Amino acid sequence: MTRLPGAASLAAMIAARSPEIAAVDLARCDRCGLCLPLCPPAAIRLGSVDLLIDAGACTGCRKCIAPCPVGALRMGLRA
């Protein structure tokens, strides 16, 4: 019997196929937190002094890019 992947493993599979992921320009980011709830897989976290994007979780959906009020987020090629 074939088992369907769970939501977490499905997100990981999609992320693995996406050639692009989000990246943050820390010189621009003011840590407003607006982008955090916009990220479907919750790949964005506020650290103690910076913003962290989990490259393994980011699916490259771009939902965080346009809403950033200071243009601190952009897409880049996955390393």
Residues that bind ligand SF4 (CB under 6 A): 21-22, 24, 29-35, 38-39, 41, 43-44, 51, 53, 58-64, 68, 70, 72-73
Nearest to ligand SF4 of 8, 34 (CB atom): 34
Nearest distance, CB of residue 1 and ligand SF4, angstroms? 31
CA distance 61 to 44: 13
Nearest to ligand SF4 of 1, 21 (CB atom): 21
Nearest to ligand SF4 of 1, 66 (CB atom): 66
Structure tokens at 25: 């320009």
Nearest distance, CB of residue 69 and ligand SF4, angstroms? 6
CA distance 34 to 53: 14
Give which of 40, 33, 17, 35 is closest to 74, Cα–Cα. 35
For residue 63, the 8-state DSSP code is T
